Structure 1
Amino acid sequence: MKYKNKEYECSTAKLGERGQIVIPKAIREELGLKQGDNLILLGNKEEGIRIINANSLEELAEIVLKEKNN
């Protein structure tokens, strides 16, 4: 299954035998993800899993620290 609108690219992925998930190419490209990127996984039973690019959090932290020091 694949779905795309202005805000979201949606696709399915199968969970591998060892728990690995392959993020579909279209989504990796849309989000600028590449091999070696660190990802943060957040999850709970009600909302499922969210995946955040750790690099995005590092960039946000740098902006916040710069603003705090000014």
Structure 2
Amino acid sequence: MMKQTKGKFAGTVRVGERGQIVIPKGVRDLFDIHPGDTLLVLADVKQGIAITKDDVLFRQFDEILSKEEPT
């Protein structure tokens, strides 16, 4: 495991036979992820894979949509 900086995490995970990965405890703690939570997986061939809690993305969409239109 790499040296951790507060609010950040870097590490590796191994893909199991059934395509599953284990999210490291440090990441689960950092993002308050619990069994039963729904995560959103985003993938782009050029940019890679990102995983986020679904509510984080929905909050960002709400912020974008709630901004007032310029007059």
What is the TM-score normalised by the length of structure 2?
Answer: 0.72
Q: Output one character per residue of 1:7-55: Cα deviation in whole Å (capped at 9) or x when no partner.
A: 5211110011111110000110011111111001001122211001012
Equivalences for 1:1-70 in 2 at 5 Å?
Answer: 1-60=1-60
Unaligned runs of 5+ in 2: none
Percent identical: 34
The amino acid of 2:33's aligned partner reads L
Unaligned runs of 5+ in 1: none
| Greater share of strand | 1
Q: How many aligned positions are there? A: 68
| Greater share of helix | 1
